[in-house]
Amino acid sequence: MEGLLEICYLIGSITFIIGLKMMGNAKTARQGNLIGAFGMTVAILGTIFLFNSEHTSRNAMKMILIFGAIAIGTAIGWITAKRVEMTKMPELVSMFNGMGGACAALIGLTEYEHNLGKTRALAFIIAGLVIGTISFSGSIIAYLKLAGKMKKPIRLPQYNMLNNALLLGVIVFSIFIVIQHANLPHTIIWILFAVAIIYGILFTVPIGGADMPVVISLLNSFTGLAAAFGGFLYDNKPMLTGGILVGSAGTLLTLAMCKAMNRPLSNVIFGAFGGGSGASGDGSEVNGTIKDVQVSDLAVMLNYSKKVVIVPGYGLAVAQAQHIIHELEKLLEERGVEVKYAIHPVAGRMPGHMNVLLAESNVEYDKLVEMEDINPEFEQTDVVLIVGANDVVNPAAKTDPSSPIYGMPILEVDKAKHVVVNKRTMNAGYAGIDNLLFYDPKCSMFFGDAKKALTELVAEIKQL
């Protein structure tokens, strides 16, 4: 039995690694996801039927409860994932990540009493409990922010000092519990749980909306780390492997996005970037004029271009215009126009959001070009069509030292011959600041809901 269980765990660990590798490419991501899910299923069933210890006993009622819980969780997860709109995917990811942190916290609460006197095991339990709880409460706040239910960052007086003091207190309290567990009441673990929840809330509450992709990735790495501690506790190889993969991947992605924004992680956490209110950066209004373009003129402009670059943003997802943008792409290519998509690392509200959105409409993955590769091409681009993107194309990041996004690498669309921006209104973007690009003489505004406006544009081009 034990040898067969180890084989199940080996299958689980290997499929996790293979699945994660395959998810690095949009063409194989779906298959990689299924392979990882298969490995998880093998590991779970192996644990249920093959794991034996002095504390393990199996009876009909336990099996009913176990498989009943699995069935309920599977049904909820399946239905939720099938029904969720692409615009709500960041919220879903944040909520699912929070549930992973909650599971790690529940393991700590359950196993604490069973491992009193075992210092090494208690260290793993407390670490997993604290990190999982912080991930849980922080992810719930992130969900509320992404869903628009908590729109403004909240900053308490002396927030940095308060938050750092609380973090230090959580660490010291955790060490104290591990060392003095024999002399402490069992309710102490619940006190630590409550303090960790408070810290997770305070950790996420002040962070502005524009930094949510970074925060989601960071909290995801927390959940992975908490799961890894559970793997150490149970000597469970798939749990350990999965936790390490999630934790390390989340950490690397967080650092990569911070690099893409040209900001240290500490500035993301403590800076409350995204809490502005539509000013250019120093509090003054942007002076200048904007010009709009009619659909007939834009159709002619695109139809007779040699090269067009499309910049997708969150507005594209909100309007669910990914299919019509793909139709526009195909129509232009039939007329000899070269079309590419420019993808900024933090476009949308979740890492990879735009890639997934466009893949859903069968846009070829090779046409999605990362920022570093597409920026040198803008000077040879006839028209850049921006659909719902804002902060990632704002020249203030290069020219305005007072701007909160100053220094953030952007898509240098202002170097193209013509720039057309599709927006519903002139409202500020997710970072809460005006976009200087809109006042550039080469830029024209194409107002309207993305799906409706692009549908009219496609119809107009077909008539040419």
Catalytic residue positions, numbered: 391
Q: Which residues contact 57 (CB under 8 A, 6 or more apart)?
A: none
Contact between 244 and 224 under an 8 Å Cβ cutoff? The reply is: yes
C-alpha 301/C-alpha 418 separation (Å) is 9
Count Cβ atoms below 10 Å from residue 287 Cβ, excluding itself.
7
Spatial strand order of the sheet with 383-387 comes to 368-370, 338-343, 307-312, 383-387, 418-423, 443-447
Rg (CA), the chain: 25
Q: Which residue blocks in 84-158 are alpha helix, DSSP H?
A: 89-111, 119-146
368: helix, coil or strand? strand
Per-position DSSP letters for 18-49, written without gaps between them: HHHHHTTSTTTHHHHHHHHHHHHHHHHHHHHH
C-alpha 396/C-alpha 394 separation (Å) is 5
Contact between 166 and 268 under an 8 Å Cβ cutoff? The reply is: no
C-alpha 244/C-alpha 226 separation (Å) is 9
Residue 139's identity, in one-letter code, is S
C-alpha 142/C-alpha 40 separation (Å) is 27
Q: What is the dihedral of CA 228, 233, 236, 242, to 10 degrees?
A: -10
Q: Which residues contact 132 (CB under 8 A, 6 or more apart)?
A: 100, 101, 102, 103, 104, 105, 107, 108, 222, 223, 226, 227
Closest CA to 96 of 220, 238, 269, 247: 220
Cα of 147 vs its chain's centroid, Å: 13
Q: Give the Cα-Cα-Cα angle 422, 377, 399 (nearest 5 degrees).
A: 65
